Amino acid sequence: MFIAISQPAVRPIEPDAVAVPGAPAIRELSPRALHAKLLQNAAQRRLRGLERKQAHRDEDASYWFSAAPVAVRKACELRCEDKSFAALP
C-alpha cells in the first residue's frame, strides 16, 4: 500500500504566535504595537462573550467577559512601565 504525501492545504502567511518546534521566529513588536494588540485581544474577548451570551451559553459568556479586563490591565501596565513608549501627539 502506498501513501501519497501532499502539500498542506493552509500555509501560514506570517509567523505564528504559538511556540511550535520548527516555527519561524516571531519578530519583536514595538511597545505601541504590543499595546494595540493587547487592546485588540480585549475587544475580541468581549465579542466572544457577546456571541456566547446570544447563544444562551451563560457560563462561557461570563468567562470571556471576565477575561477581557485582564488584557486591558496588561496593556495599561505596559504603558505605565515602558520608558520607550513615546507620548501620543
Residue 34, pLDDT score: 82
| Per-residue pLDDT tens digits of the chain, which is 89 residues long | 666 666 666 666 665 555 566 666 667 777 788 888 888 989 999 999 999 999 999 998 999 899 888 888 888 888 777 666 666 55
Residue 74, pLDDT score: 85
Model-level pTM greater than 0.75? no
Residue 12, pLDDT score: 61
Are 78 and 35 in contact, with CB atoms under 8 Å apart? yes
Are 75 and 42 in contact, with CB atoms under 8 Å apart? yes
d(CA 62, CA 7): 40
